[in-house]
Amino acid sequence: MERDSRALGKALGPLTVGHLLAILLMILPFGLLVALVQWQRQIQIGSGLLVIGFGAFRFINRRHPRGLARIRPTHLGLWSFAVGIAHGAGLMLVPIYLGLCQGVDLHGTSQAAALVNANLGMAMLVAAVHSVAMIAGGGVLAWLVYRYLGLSFVSRSWFNLDAPWACSLMLVGAISLSISLTKGP
């Protein structure tokens, strides 16, 4: 937006912080729920349904608020947080975090859930790795578009990934739900 390649580098920090906070806000409450072992299956079913429901909602309601299209650079971190929450930051990580993805069986739970149960720091690590990977990938693509294709390319050829994203949420939720329903009580 500033027509300066240095602005991209300055934007990555606030974007990372905003996305990280959005993921932590979404994933930490689920991490605290893992401690309720006697309710683990019900929580897993509920989280699977939550991810499916959010994916279906995003598939049906694809409109984006126009007010979020242009923001001041000083509000980039807040914008990243708001967009991360609006797009379900961390919801795809919930099934992994709750142990729905099968790993090495450790007393009836997956390796991922056992690691998170043993150490709340693992939740922070999962959120940080996800945020850094997302920002690195997005930052490289943004730089390539800015450097080689130009900003006019973005306005002329915008493509919407909302439908594939919503479908991936529903798929992850359905897989997680089927795993939790096939596990014994």
Q: What is the pLDDT of residues 60-107, one digit of tens each?
A: 987 765 665 667 778 888 888 877 776 666 665 665 655 555 544 445
Q: Kindly state the greatest CA–CA separation across the chain.
A: 58
Confidence at residue 149, expressed as pLDDT on a 0 to 100 scale:
86
What is the Cα–Cα distance from 61 to 55, expressed in whole angstroms? 10
Instruction: Average the pLDDT over 149-158 and give the result.
Output: 76
pLDDT digits (tens, 9 = 90+) for 38-56: 677 787 888 889 889 988 9
Terminal CA-to-CA distance of the chain, rounded, Å? Answer: 54
Q: For position 47, what pLDDT does the model report? A: 82
* Average pLDDT of the segment spanning 95-123: 55
Strand partners, 109: 106
88 — phi, psi (to 5°)? 80, 40
Could you read off the pLDDT of 127-153 as tens digits, one per residue?
788 888 988 998 998 898 888 888 787
DSSP E strands in 25-72: the ranges are none
**CA neighbor of 26 nearest in space, from 132, 113, 97:** 97
Q: Which two tokens stand for residue 79?
A: 């914008």
For the chain, the structural domain boundaries read: 5-182
Nearest in space to 8 (alpha carbons), one of 161, 175, 136 = 136
d(CA 54, CA 70): 25
pLDDT of residue 104: 43
Give the percent of the chain with pLDDT over 90. Answer: 5
What local confidence, expressed as pLDDT, does residue 56 receive?
A: 92
* Global pTM value: 0.49
Residue 158 neighbours by CB under 8 Å, 6+ apart: none
Strand, helix or coil for residue 85: helix
pLDDT for the residue 140: 93
Instruction: Kindly tell me the sign of the dihedral angle through the C-alpha atoms of 13, 15, 18, 19.
Output: negative
